[in-house]
Amino acid sequence: MRRRFEGRRLVIASHNEGKVREIGELLAPFGVETVSAGELGLPEPEETGSTFEANAELKALAAATGSGLPALADDSGLEVDALGGAPGIHTARWAGPERDFAMAMRNVEEKLQAKGATSPDGRTGRFVAALALAWPDGHVETVRGEVEGTLVWPPRGERGFGYDPVFLPEGMERTFGEMPSEEKHGWTPDKPKSQALSHRARAFAELVEGCFVR
């Protein structure tokens, strides 16, 4: 049994604007008042975990204990099969301190080229997201969502954030960078969770089942 979120206010424990926006969209139908870690002036904890789940949990717990409110964190990344699962939990770091995603996408592409990965089946990977919902008393609920796809080059589309323009989700014709965010989510609370498309929406659909009532 998951612990249910019964408050009014929830901290979105992320300093990534793109994520804060997407999580806000996913939460909107639940009538929860959200505030981001940045707006509360909470520090960005060091991500010392060796899994997405561990990093999501440490970010959520830091925000929940720092604010006295329940907090939802997301740790996510891109795993490229031909690169042995890299960049994985280091996906943000590949963009450098300036968070330069044009450079990060180029870097992934150069590594794929160096492996001779030119055909789509040599360029498979997935986006992974772990979501952790933590309470100030230290209780945490954690879920994971994944979406398989292929890496395209050159980047396509101006929407979304991060690596979205190079990620073509399986069975789709447009990259995440070309989709409006409703399509990237693929899910609203009136739909079965199997409709969720993005890693984040898949994880969220799993989490709300036990933790949120509309």
Ligand X SMILES: O=P(O)(O)OP(=O)(O)OP(=O)(O)OC[C@H]1O[C@@H](n2cnc3c(O)ncnc32)[C@H](O)[C@@H]1O
Residues that bind ligand X (CB under 6 A): 14-16, 19, 44, 47, 59, 74-77, 91-92, 95, 127, 160-164, 176, 198, 200
Dihedral sign, Cα of residue 106, residue 77, residue 146, residue 16: negative
Of 75, 81, 121, 190, the active-site residue reads 75
Residues 16, 90: contact at Cβ < 8 Å?
A: no
Choice between 162 and 186, CB closer to ligand X: 162
Q: How far is the CB of 95 from ligand X (least distance, A)?
A: 5
Q: Which phi and psi (to 5°) does residue 62 adopt? A: -60, -45
Choice between 31 and 41, CB closer to ligand X: 41
Say whether 19 counts as a known binding-site residue. yes
Choice between 67 and 76, CB closer to ligand X: 76
Choice between 146 and 210, CB closer to ligand X: 146
Q: How far is the CB of 192 from Mg ion (least distance, A)?
A: 31
Residues 134, 147: contact at Cβ < 8 Å?
A: no
Q: How far is the CB of 116 from ligand X (least distance, A)?
A: 25
Q: Which region, judged by CB under 5 A, interacts with Mg ion, from 91-99, 153-161, 176-184, 206-214?
A: 91-99
Tell me, residue by residue from 18 to 37, as one string, x for binding to Mg ion by CB under 5 A and - for no binding.
--------------------
> How many angstroms separate the CA atoms of 157 and 150, rounded?
15
Q: How far is CA 178 from the centre of its chain?
A: 17
212 binds, among ligand X, Mg ion, none (CB under 5 to 8 A by kind): none
**Where are any strands of DSSP class E within 51-111?**
71-80
As a whole number of Å, the CA-based R_g of the chain is 17
- Write the DSSP string, 39-57: TTT--------SSHHHHHH
> Could you confirm whether 75 is annotated as catalytic?
yes
Q: What share of the chain is helix, strand, coil (3-state, %, to 5)?
A: 40, 20, 40
Residues 201, 186: contact at Cβ < 8 Å?
A: yes
200 binds, among ligand X, Mg ion, none (CB under 5 to 8 A by kind): ligand X
Rule CB under 5 A: say whether 92 interacts with Mg ion. yes
5 binds, among ligand X, Mg ion, none (CB under 5 to 8 A by kind): none
- Would you list which residues are annotated within the binding site for substrate? 14-19, 76, 161-164, 184, 199-200
Residues labelled catalytic? 75
